[in-house]
Structures are given as C-alpha cells and as structure tokens.
Structure 1
Amino acid sequence: MKLLRYGPVGNEKPGCLDDQGRVRDLSGKVSDITAESLTPERLKILRGIDVASLPLVENPGRIGTPYSGLGKFICVGLNYSDHAAETGAEVPKEPILFNKWSRPSGANDAVVIPKGSVKTDWEVELGVVIGTKARYVSLADALKYVAGYCVVNDVSEREYQIERGGTWDKGKGCDTFGPVGPWLVTADEVADPQSLAMWLDINGKRFQDGSTKTMIFDVAYLIHYISQFTTLYPGDLISTGTPPGVGLGQKPPLYLKAGDVMRLGIQGLGEQEQSVHAWDAALLD
C-alpha cells in the first residue's frame, strides 16, 4: 500500500494511491495517517480497505509528508562504498550516525538555502520507517520492525557540516533540509530493500545514479545496530545514506544555488521535485 497526505501545510488529508497511480481519499476511514497508524495492527486494517471504492481525488495539489508525528530523524553517513570513495573518506568500521533537527517537509516543498550558505548539497537516500518498538533487536528479526520505505533528500550544508567543528548535525538540520515522500510504501510491497535503483538530477542533468546494493551496512543491520543505543518507536525514520554523485564529490565541487531544481527518486517509491530558493523566512512558516 502507498500511503500519503495531501493538502496545505497543517491541513493535510490522508490518502493512498490506487493501482493506476491516482490519489484516493482516506479521510472517510481515518482522520489522519499518523505514527500510530504504522503499527502492524493499524496497517493490517488499512490494507483491508478496498482502495478502488474510495473517492478519487482529481487535483490533490501539494503532497505533504506521508505521515504526521514523525519521531526521531536518524541519518547514516558514508554508508555507500562508492560514495565514501568519491569523498576520499575511509570506509567506516561502524555506522556513522547523526540526527536531522529540521521539521520534515513534503516531497515537492521548497528547499531554502540558509543565510550565507555557499555549500548546500543534495543526497538521495532510502528512508526506513519504523512500525514496531525496537530495542536490542536481533539482526535476523530486524526487518520485521519496518512499517515501510520512502524517499528522503538529505540536503546538507557542507561548510557547516565539515568545517565548523563539532558534529555533523548543524550542517544537516537546517530548515527545509528534510524532504520526505511523496508516499510511504508498506514493507510488504518492497521485496528487497537492498536492490533498489536510485537517482537524482539537478536542472535536468543526472548526478546520482546508484543502487541500495552498494550500502556498506544494509537496512537490517542498521536497525539492529541503532536499536543497541536507543529505542526506536513507530514513526521514527532512518535515512540510510547516499550513493556517489553529490556536489561535494564533483571536480571541482558544485553546490546548489537559487533557481536550481532537484528531481530524485527511488525504484518503486516515487519521485520528489524541489525548487531551490535563496533565504526567505516566509517560505519556512
């Protein structure tokens, strides 16, 4: 099942996609798609709905985040061997973890360059959404805790991340730096999360063209590993790293500027498109 939310910020309605890729209105069945909706019991009820009988939404307009109440936004750095190579970094012996502070935005919402930034970068990533409380889970059972998968653009400010000292978080958590969606694809529809093609274009030019098969630490291992340090709850999101082709890895490096358009997607999980804007506080509220 492909779950989504559509409508203006703060007034999104729940929906889903039918077999023809059209949006259907779920508001007659649920008031919203929330983190609590992602538990196995709630997803079983949603999957039992006859999608074809739901009202068709002819013009859904803005597509918001796939669910409300996103909890922890945990990200994994340098998790693709070919991406580590392009940045000149050593392959990590254990997953590199950091957090996004930003409020997640819809798949096609504007991305705003922070004040004074000259090194804002792009990263297409596979998002893994937790559906069952996970604490010290075994590697063998780890995928049982997944509610579904989605596309994430881990927008990053490289100067803040690398050159300003401390942790990576301040280069990752700027406002608008976390587009999520357009929808959440439930885990039963993703046969193998380690064989998904992924791509990203800037102004129509392909920069990232990779696959989740080159992950250093796969999805199951990441859930197992992270659950050793913190309890994961329904609605927590793990963004699992990016393949090569980021702006930092270009020769010379290339970064986003106002007017650029990012398009990105992952096989079976949908596509995003964001326009890049100079700093404008009005775009954040």
Structure 2
Amino acid sequence: MKLVRFGAAGAEKPGLIDADGKVRDLSGVVPDIAGDVLGRKGRARLAAIDPASLPLAPEGSRFGACVGRVGNFIAVGLNYADHAAESGMAVPSEPVLFNKAPSCIVGPDDTVLIPRGSEKTDWEVELAVVIGERASYVSEADALDYVAGYCVCNDVSERAYQIERGGQWTKGKGCPTFGPIGPWLVTTDEVDTGDLAMKLSVNGELVQNGSSSTMVFKVPFLIHYISQFMILEPGDVITTGTPPGVGMGMKPPRYLKPGDRMEVSIAGLGVQRQAVAAG
C-alpha cells in the first residue's frame, strides 16, 4: 500500500493511492495515518479495503507529510562511507544519532525556508523508516517486524549551525521546514531497502546519485541499535543517512539560496519537489 495525507497544512486527511495512481479518502475509516493505524492490525485493516469503495480526494490536493503526529524524528549521521569522506569525517564505528525536531516536518512539495542569517543551508536525500510497533531492546533479526513502511526524506541541514556553533548537530537539523517527508508511506510488503536508487537535483542538475546499498549500517541494525537507547513508538521516523553529493562536499562548497528548486527521489518511494525561499 501507498498511504498518504492530503489537504491543507494542519488539516490533512488520511488516504491511499489506488491502482490508477489516484488518491482515495480514508477519513471515513481512520482519523489519520498515525499511531496505531501504522501497526500490523491497522495496516491489515486498510489492506482489506477495496480502494474503489472509497471516495476520491479532490483533484490536485496538496500532499502533507505522509505520517502524522510524529513523536521522535531520529536521524543517523555519516551512514555512507563516501559521504563521510566528502565531509572530511571518519566512518563511525557505531551509528551517529541526532534528533530532528518533529516541528520541522512538512509535506514533500512544501517550500523549504532558509533560516534567518543562514549562509550554509544544504540538502540530503535519505531513506526514512516509519515505525509501526512499540520497539524496545529489539533484536536485529526481528527488527523489521516493527516497521510500518518507508518514505523519502530530505534531511535539510544548516552546516554552520550544525558544525561551527558548538555542541550537538541538532541545532542545524531542526529548523522550520527542514524535514520534508513523503509523498507517501510505502508499506514493508512492497519495499526491499537493499538497493534503492537515491537522487537529488538542484535547479535541474543531478548532485546526488547513490544507492541504499552503500549504507554502512543497514536498516535492521539501526532499529535494533536505536531501540537500545530509547523506546520507539508507532509513527516515529528514523532517517538513515545520505549518499555523497551534498553542497558541503563540493569544491567550492555550494549552498541553497532563495529561488532554487530541489527534486528528491528514491526508487519506488516517490518524488519530492521543493522551492527554496527566505525564512
């Protein structure tokens, strides 16, 4: 299944994509794509519905973030060896974890705002994992049983805030609009994360062209590892790192400016298209 949230910001309705690529309205069945709806029982209930029995969403509806009420938005740093190299950092012996503020989450095609005073706002295409079951101290072997599905994330980052301002990376990762996710959540039965093409273009120029196959720490290990340090709840999002091609790694470095346009895609998970504006 491809699950979506559509409608005006702050008033999104739950939906699914039918076989013809049209959005069907699930608001008569579930209140949101969030919480227990993402669990095994909730997904089974949705899978049993004939999409043709659901009303169509209004043509041209905005896509919101594909998950609602996200509690934890956890990110993994330096999880691609070639990205670590372009960043001038060593490949970590254990996953680097940081938080993105849930308040930074926006829809896949919403405008990305450059924070006030920023001169180093950057892009990162990432595979995001959406948790479906409460997870604590899970084994690597069982980790995928706790996943609802996957989506595209643009881990927008302000490099000066992240690296040059002291302390932890969080301060450069959670600015408003720095977490576009979607367009849809693809359930686990339709995705093999082993080798997904990952691309990001800026103003039509392909700058990131990688694959999930080059992750240092794979999805099952990441879920197992993170669950040793915190409880993961249904609807939590883990964004798993980016392949090379970020602006920070270019020579000379290149960063986003108002008027730029990004296109962000992962094979089978859809495409995001974002304009950039001053915040």
TM range (shorter): over 0.9
Specify the alignment match of 2:126 in structure 1: 125
Specify the alignment match of 2:227 in structure 1: 227
Q: CA deviation at 1:143?
A: 0.8
Q: Matches of residues 137-152 of structure 1 in structure 2 within 5 Å?
A: 137-152=138-153
Q: CA deviation at 1:30?
A: 2.0
| TM-score under structure 2 length normalisation | 0.97
In 2, distance between residues paired with 1:181 and 1:211?
18
In 1, distance between residues paired with 2:88 and 2:170?
20
Q: CA deviation at 1:20?
A: 1.9
Deviations 1:32-78, CA, capped at 9 Å, x for gaps? 22222101111110011111332223514211011211110000000
In 2, distance between residues paired with 1:115 and 1:131?
36
The amino acid across from 1:270 in the alignment is: G
> Does the alignment pair 1:183 with 2:184?
yes
The amino acid across from 1:157 in the alignment is: E
In 1, distance between residues paired with 2:19 and 2:46?
15
Deviations 1:76-131, CA, capped at 9 Å, x for gaps? 00000111121221110000000011511000111110111000000000000000
In 2, distance between residues paired with 1:43 and 1:121?
35
In 2, distance between residues paired with 1:92 and 1:58?
47
> Does the alignment pair 1:73 with 2:73?
yes
What are the ranges of 5 or more consecutive residues in structure 2 without an aligned counterpart? none
Specify the alignment match of 2:237 in structure 1: 237
Q: How many residues align?
A: 278
CA contact (8 A) 2:150 2:187 kept: yes
Q: CA deviation at 1:27?
A: 1.9
In 2, distance between residues paired with 1:119 and 1:194?
32
In 1, distance between residues paired with 2:106 and 2:90?
32
In 1, distance between residues paired with 2:81 and 2:27?
43
In 2, distance between residues paired with 1:137 and 1:15?
30
Specify the alignment match of 2:29 in structure 1: 29
CA contact (8 A) 2:150 2:186 kept: yes
In 1, distance between residues paired with 2:131 and 2:102?
19
Q: Percent sequence identity over matched residues? A: 62
CA contact (8 A) 1:102 1:176 kept: no
Greater Cα offset, 152-161 or 62-71: 62-71
CA contact (8 A) 2:111 2:276 kept: yes
Specify the alignment match of 2:108 in structure 1: 107
Deviations 1:224-264, CA, capped at 9 Å, x for gaps? 00001111110110000000000001110000000000100
CA contact (8 A) 1:160 1:171 kept: yes
> Does the alignment pair 1:246 with 2:246?
yes
Specify the alignment match of 1:14 in structure 2: 14
Moved over 6 A (4+): none
Q: CA deviation at 1:178?
A: 0.4
Greater Cα offset, 58-67 or 169-178: 58-67
The amino acid across from 1:110 in the alignment is: T
When the two chains are superposed, the root-mean-square deviation of aligned CA atoms in Å is 1.0
In 2, distance between residues paired with 1:111 and 1:183?
18
Deviations 1:134-166, CA, capped at 9 Å, x for gaps? 111111111111000000000000000000000
In 1, distance between residues paired with 2:89 and 2:220?
24
| TM-score under structure 1 length normalisation | 0.95
CA contact (8 A) 1:4 1:66 kept: yes
What are the ranges of 5 or more consecutive residues in structure 1 without an aligned counterpart? 280-285
